[in-house]
Amino acid sequence: QPASTGESHTVSMDSARRGRSMPAARRSGFDYLIVGAGFAGSVLAERLASQANKRVLVIDRRPHIGGNAYDCFDDGGVLMHRYGPHIFHTNAQRIFDYLSKFTRWRPYEHRVLADVDRQLVPIPINQTTINKLYGLDLDEAGVAQFLAGRATALDDIRTSEDVVISQVGQELYEKFFRGYTRKQWGLDPSQLDKAVTARVPTRTNADDRYFGDSFQFMPLHGYTRMFENMLDHPNIRIMVNTDFEDIRNDVHYDHLIYSGPIDEFFDYRFGKLPYRSLRFQHETLDQEWFQPVAVVNYPSQDVPYTRITEYKHLTGQVHGKTSLTYEYPSAEGDPYYPIPREENQVLYKQYRELADKTPNVSFVGRLGTYRYYNMDQVVGQAITLFNKLIDTQNGEAQD
């Protein structure tokens, strides 16, 4: 028995515009309209449909589900990520367990090398990095001493520059972080919140994994397959190639969940929230391998891209060809990264306050809540929102 129905759910949308035709349901209309079929939207759709028996319409303006985590086979037959490399990592058992309902996993520990001083050395900076760059043979204690001797003591660590120079000093900061960050964000690290470069640790041992999390995996058959499984429920309808603007006046629903950019939703009323974009240059080479690890970072400002990804390292696919993506940061284009700095948070807060006053709409996800979130954090945020929506509804039912 559906939890709620009613006249207000009538869908008056022209069926020809539906993209995918909707089966003639006895009930029409939706309990929830979800904008965005990425992690935020898909997790909410799955929870609402399967746990609360809600009827859900998920739309996305892109031609596919999965949001930025979308993967597909390219023309050469190599599985690649359309929007840059996505590696799943988390410390949260419950998030790993939740996603495990929709995919099996391939154990994968991410390793990254940086092209510095014409050598490929591990990033995060570790024992091997120091020994290779400086022609040394230090043990762990020796590396700790080496870094302590170079680190700049700071009372107050506020910016992304402070974080790094307080750990490794000016020279290593310039070699690994300053140029990369200026390219990636179009800002100097001194203009960015400390949380940005704090994502990358410094190590004195030889651990060369990019992430320290207890769960590090890739979905065995890719992200898109995982999303297909997540959204495969009779209560869920999906329309791709559909912008919210196209249908906002046609579809009837009780509640809207919006995972697009929050400033766009409010017609940029307080001004544009800055997002950083990327241009992805994909290529397939007629050779088996290109580089020794999945990602090589290029911190130098002499090259315009930040990193090159070679997907077969991530996916484990066996293929005679190999596919790569070069990432060129850009101010224009699709919004990929909220830019963590104080003045942007102030602007976001204005939108947040407006959002809190807007009835029957919930904002979620990296763009909807303007947070530099990883996939696992977005999943956690979406599950929390689901619990809140259901609690609120149960509360209202009891009133």
Query: Where along the sequence are the contacts to ligand FAD (CB under 6 A)?
Result: 35-41, 59-62, 67-69, 83-87, 243-244, 259-260, 278, 336, 365-367, 373-376, 378
Q: Whole-number minimum distance, CB 259 to ligand FAD, in Å?
A: 5
Nearer to ligand FAD, 130 or 378 (CB): 378
The vertex-21 CA angle with 15 and 22, nearest 5°, equals 90
What is the three-class DSSP state of 49?
A: helix
Among 35, 45, 80, 123, binds ligand UDP (CB under 6 A): 123
Nearer to ligand UDP, 123 or 236 (CB): 123
Q: Whole-number minimum distance, CB 86 to ligand FAD, in Å?
A: 5
Q: Under rule CB under 6 A, which residues in 201-260 are in contact with ligand UDP?
A: none
What Å distances lie between residue 351 and 185, 257, 276, 335, 356, CA to CA?
22, 16, 19, 17, 9
Following DSSP, what letter does each residue of 105-147 receive, concatenated?
A: EEE---BEEEEETTEEEEES--HHHHHHHHT----HHHHHHHH
- CB count, 10 Å around CB of 6? 12
Nearest one of 389, 179, 204, 379 to 297, comparing CA atoms? 179
Rule CB under 6 A: say whether 339 interacts with ligand UDP. Answer: no
Name the binder of 184 from ligand UDP, ligand FAD, none, CB < 5-8 A by kind. Answer: ligand UDP
Nearer to ligand FAD, 41 or 219 (CB): 41
Rule CB under 6 A: say whether 314 interacts with ligand UDP. Answer: no
Q: Whole-number minimum distance, CB 196 to ligand UDP, in Å?
A: 5
What is the three-class DSSP state of 148?
A: helix
Name the binder of 82 from ligand UDP, ligand FAD, none, CB < 5-8 A by kind. Answer: none
Among 20, 104, 158, 199, binds ligand UDP (CB under 6 A): 199
The vertex-333 CA angle with 327 and 336, nearest 5°, equals 65
CA distance 40 to 380: 9
- CB count, 10 Å around CB of 80? 26
CA distance 200 to 332: 26
CA distance 252 to 8: 6
* Token pair recorded at residue 361: 């709409």
Q: Whole-number minimum distance, CB 160 to ligand UDP, in Å?
A: 6
* Token pair recorded at residue 124: 């995060």
Q: Whole-number minimum distance, CB 167 to ligand UDP, in Å?
A: 13
What is the three-class DSSP state of 9?
A: helix
Enclosing H/E stretch for 207: none
How many residues bind ligand UDP (CB under 6 A)? The answer is: 13
Rule CB under 6 A: say whether 196 interacts with ligand UDP. Answer: yes
* Token pair recorded at residue 143: 């590396």
Name the binder of 274 from ligand UDP, ligand FAD, none, CB < 5-8 A by kind. Answer: none
Name the binder of 45 from ligand UDP, ligand FAD, none, CB < 5-8 A by kind. Answer: none
Nearer to ligand UDP, 48 or 112 (CB): 112
Among 11, 40, 48, 114, binds ligand UDP (CB under 6 A): 114
Nearest one of 33, 83, 37 to 56, comparing CA atoms? 33
Nearer to ligand FAD, 72 or 144 (CB): 72
> Phi and psi of 27, rounded to 5°?
-95, 140
Name the binder of 173 from ligand UDP, ligand FAD, none, CB < 5-8 A by kind. Answer: none
Among 67, 122, 299, 329, binds ligand UDP (CB under 6 A): 299
Q: What is the DSSP letter of 301?
A: T
Among 200, 239, 339, 364, binds ligand UDP (CB under 6 A): 200
Each residue 155-194 as x (binds ligand UDP by CB under 6 A) or -, in order, gives ---------------------xx--xx--x----------
Name the binder of 211 from ligand FAD, ligand UDP, none, CB < 5-8 A by kind. Answer: none
CA distance 141 to 145: 6
- CB count, 10 Å around CB of 188? 13
Nearer to ligand UDP, 147 or 196 (CB): 196
Residues that bind ligand UDP (CB under 6 A): 114, 123, 176-177, 180-181, 184, 196-197, 199-200, 297, 299
